Every structure is written in C-alpha cells, then in structure tokens.
Chain A
Amino acid sequence: MATTNSRTLARFMLLPSVTLLLAWMIVPLCMTLYFSFIDYNLLVPGEKEFVGFLNYEFFLTDPAFFESFFNTLLLVTGVLLITICGGIGLAILLDQAIWGRNYVRIMVLAPFFVMPTVSALVWKNMLMNPVNGLFAHFAIWLGFDPIDFFAQMPLFSIIIIVSWQWLPFAALILLTAIQSLDREQLEAADLDGAGPLSKFFYIVLPHLSRAVTAVILIETIFLLSIFAEILVTTSGGPGYSSTNITYLIYTQSLLQFDVGGGSAGGIVAVIIANIVAIFLMRLIGKNLEG
C-alpha cells in the first residue's frame, strides 16, 4: 500500500502525535529562550527587564564554565570508552554456552534498572567510602592507605559509577548484534586459518560496528545530561572538579537563584549537544547507512 491516498492518510494519522511531541519540545525551549534574555533572579522581585546577551556573557566568561565543559567531555568519553570496551568483552562472554546463561543475562542487566540516585548512594556509602567502604577495607587488608575517592579523584569516581550503570545497556545491544552474526562466517574463517584474535578483529568487530555506533549515539545523549550521580556524591566538588554543564546550570539557577543565567546556560548546553550530535553523525553516522 503505497498509493498517494494511503500516504496522505498516513501523514494525517501521524499528525496528533507529532504535534504533541513538537509542543512538548517547543514550549519549554521557547520559555528557556525567553528567560535567558531577561534579568530574572528569584531573590530580586519586581520588574524583569530585558538585558540582551548579558546572561550569556556572564555564563560563558565564568571560569567554571570551561572547567565544567571539559568535565562534561571527559565524563562522556570516559564512560563511552569503558562501556564499549567492557560491553564487547561482556557480550562475547555472555554469548558462550554456559550453564544458567539466561539467569546470568538477567543479572547482568540489573544495574540498568537501579535508579541513578540509588546506585550513586550504594557506591558512595558501601563501596567508595574511605572509612566503611568495601574498597577501603580491601586497601587496608592489602596494607595500603584507603583512598578517599570523592576527594582525591571525584570525576573519575563518577565516571566509574556511571559506567557501571551503562555497561549492561551496551553489553545487551552488543550481545544481540553478536548473536546475529552468521555462524558460517566464523566457520569459514576457521577453515581459512584465522585464529581467535583474527576472527575477532576481522569478522566480529566489523560486524559490531553498527551496534557500536548506535550505542555511542544513544549513550552520548544521556551522558551529556548526567546529574543525579553528581548531586548525590560530590555535589560538583571539590571546587568545580566534578561539575558538568548540567550541574553548573543547576547551581546557577537553583543555588544562586539566577534563573536568567541558568536559562542562558541551558541554551548553551542545547547548542553544545547539537554540535556534538552533528560531529558524531559526521564521524560515525555513515556506519548506520546501508
């Protein structure tokens, strides 16, 4: 059914949901845009006057902005690296015929179901705590000084926590991709004299490239807006060393009550996200074609 008639009808049918989605996106965006051009501080009641690009100037020249910008990039790339590499390894392991494979798969997926605040709390209090944490006990047992993770390596600790949450997602997508690999190709490679390493690099990895692309794109969208893990563990500190753009916007508008400045930051974040998206699509989007 691809007559002109049916296509027109299809567009009509799509209209309500598309309109709703568009409104859902456009209204908050326009409000943010509006707030970003006025002097709007919750501590200063009264006239909200138009200030032009002043909010943007303040936000972009703030030294905290650059630090949080690089923190954001570090956070995204770090988590991507860990989840992709770990995910491929995990997917290959899960693809092996082991006893109780189905249960193992469900267990592996578990961290993805734990909400960010809870998993951050678990890591903060049970694992990384310098006094009571498991890692501290382990370090003492081995004869080392326990590490105070959130004071000594705050951003790295957050990368670890977020990676733990996203590893199952990557592993699951990559596992399904591995399972769709034609077994005869691997058998042909066997006969062609390819060892396990050659098989991985010449057959499995190229086959996974599309899935890896999908994982990178999806994860990037979510990783740019990491917030709960930072709020629960380090509150962006010490200093600004674990603040990302999202958290900086939160500080600006809700801790300093500067809604105008926060909104300007929001618009900047939207622009950055789009730049990253265009950059990614150019770089790896061709993998998704054909």
Chain B
Amino acid sequence: MGSITLKQVTKNFDEVNVIKPLDLEIKDGEFIVFVGPSGCGKSTLLRMIAGLEDTTSGNIEIDGQDATHTPPAKRGLAMVFQSYALYPHMTVRNNIAFPLKRAKVSPAEIESKIANAAKILNLTDYLDRKPGQLSGGQRQRVAIGRAIVRQPSAFLFDEPLSNLDASLRVNMRLEISELHKSLSTTMIYVTHDQVEAMTMADRIAVFNGGIIEQVGTPLELYKHPVNEFVAGFIGSPKMNFIAVPQSEDKKTVNLGIRPEHFIISQEQGTYKGTVGVIEHLGSESFLHVTLECGTTVTVKADGDCPLQYGDAIFLSAQENKTHKFDKNGLTIKTTL
C-alpha cells in the first residue's frame, strides 16, 4: 500500500530542464533517501511526487494508479516540510486535527487519533500550546504528527532536520528511523547530508544535476560506487582521489582510496608524504597528508596516533579496497 513508480519523469522550469528523464521504483514500506548537492533536483522531484509541482512529461504511479495529474490531497501522501509549515495561530491539537477535519472525520475519532499520535511522539503535554511556544524538535514532531494521523500510503520528508542543531538532529534521526520501523510505511526522505542518508536509508538514490547517478543500499553505494561523483559523495570524510600518470591497464586516470583504507608506515609504502594538520576526535584521528605529487589526502588513524605536524610518513592502500576511475569518471570494474 505505498509503492511509487516514476516513469520517464521530467521537469522544466520555463526553458531550464531541472529533471532529465528519470525512472525509479519505490517499493512498499521502503525507506528511500534522495541525496545530492543543493540544486540537483531532489526536492523538486519530491514536490512532483507530492503533487505540488506539475510534471512536464512522464508518469507518476502510486500503488499502480496513474497519479500524474491527481491533486495533492487525493494522492494519499503526507509531507513534512523543511520549515515545518505548522499553522501558527492554531494549537498543536488543531494543527494535527486540521487534515482530519478537512476529511470530515468524526470528532470522537479525531480525538482518539490525536491522543494516539501525541503518545507516539511525546507531545501529550503540549497539545494546547501554539507552535511559537515549542522548541525546534517539538515543532518537527508536530509536523510529523500532522502527517501520521492521515495514515498516508507514503511519507515525504523535505530536509526535515536541517533547521535543528547537531545533537537534536541525531535524536530526531533515530526517532524517524524508529517511526519507520513501527509504522512500516513507505518513506521518501530528501537530504543533502550523506550521513543522514547512510544511517536511515534502506536504499539511497544519489542525485546530481537532474539525474540519478546510482540507486542502491548504503553499503552497495559505499563499496561499489559506479562513478567518481557517487564515490566522493558517499562516505565521510570524502574518498581521496589520486591521479595516476601511467597505469598498467592504460585506462585508469584516478585512483580512489577512502581515508579508512590507508595503511600508515614509518618505513615503506606506495606514497611518501608529509603530515599536515591532525584532527583528534578521541576515538580516531584524521591526518591531512600532503603527498609528494602535491595531492592532499585525508587519512584515518587511531585515536592515540603518535604522529606530529611535519612528520614524514609512507602510505599504502589496503588490498582490494581501491577504486579505479577512467577518464569519464566511471568506475572500472575489477574482476575479483
């Protein structure tokens, strides 16, 4: 009860083509995350699925029914906005009740649904307050509550956590993940934060310039990125790219090595470099190392790494953990 299929969907704003023909199948109960840099069309696509933007061409199917021209309210989807979009003059109770009242649900049923949603979201004590009297996290929960009570076939989240501070964001991330597990409703979640994408998603769709670069589970994207863009976007800190002047297979232009896949040695290794700034996080340290060829790479080391600024070290990559990219940025499949 919540599968969404996009068939050759495109979107133009006047002359500008924002979304190039795009196919995507979202399965029922799936938590899919659209991730990409700002301006890549991920929010636009979400708004098209919600019905807030017209689709220029192609079809959007919800539960097998063509919904391309269905008005937003009839699509059975609920959306949580970046600004929360709560109605400021209504109490929390009325905010949550608003969609139910519009749907002419009986007052008794509204009351029980509000109580239920408030219990799930820890809002029971705040039902008679107005949004202005709530903290950011609470407002976020009210927005989710307003979405839950409609029992939609899918939830759409448009960067819902970007207005919260870092620690609250981690909490809300967990809460939304737990909500997904308990409701097992389809959720589409838009974010530019790849950490959110990696931690929450069943599947991630990586957007870039109006196209989907790759769709897959977080680990698939991490282990087998199809091109340089996905490789650089997924994983934190970013993957290091080292230019290869002359490769054995005559195709490899760039070598990608993740910070966590380096072996540090004082005596020998593939690359020689000088340690720059060291970021100590306690559990681990990140070294910024300038290689002889001039490239700066990030290297993950132990928390109690004894190296100092200016030390000379040798680096080499762990076996089978390197990624090779050709001159078009595409991954060269290595037969294992």
Contact = CB atoms under 8 A, between A and B. Distances in A.
Interface stretch (A141-149, A199-207, A254-262, A272-280): A199-207
B52 A194 contact: no
A192 B83 contact: no
A184 B81 contact: yes
Interface in B49-86: 50-52, 71-73, 77-79, 81-83, 85-86
A182 B52 contact: no
B126 interface: no
Of all A-B residue pairs in the complex, the 4 with the closest CB atoms, nearest first, are A192-B99, A193-B73, A184-B85, A188-B85
6 contacts: A182-B83, A187-B79, A188-B81, A188-B146, A194-B102, A209-B89
Contacts of B86: 185
A198 interface: yes
Interface string A167-202: 000000000000000101101111111110010001
Given A187-B72, A194-B98, A206-B89, 5 more contacts: A185-B86, A187-B79, A187-B81, A193-B99, A209-B89
Given A191-B77, A191-B79, A185 B99 contact: no
A202 B150 CA distance: 18
Nearest to A194: B102
A185 B85 contact: yes
A174 B234 CA distance: 48
A61 B294 CA distance: 99
A198 B52 contact: no
A187 B146 contact: no
Contacts of B281: none
Nearest to A209: B89
Given A184-B81, A198-B102, A202-B98, A190 B72 contact: yes
Nearest to A199: B102
Contact of A193 (B82, B90, B102): B102
A202 B91 CA distance: 12
Interface in B256-282: none
B89 A207 contact: yes
A195 B71 CA distance: 11
A203 B102 CA distance: 13
B45 to A, nearest CB: 15
Contacts of B52: 187, 190-191
Contacts of B78: 191
A207 B86 CA distance: 12
Interface string A205-219: 011010000000000
B87 interface: yes
B103 interface: yes
A134 B88 CA distance: 47
A191 B87 contact: no
A188 B79 contact: yes
B85 A182 contact: yes
- Residue with the highest number of chain B CB atoms closer than 10 Å, among A188, A193, A207, A290: A188
Contacts of A187: 52, 72, 79, 81, 85
A202 B79 CA distance: 19
Contact of A203 (B81, B87, B150): B87
B86 to A, nearest CB: 8
A18 to B, nearest CB: 34
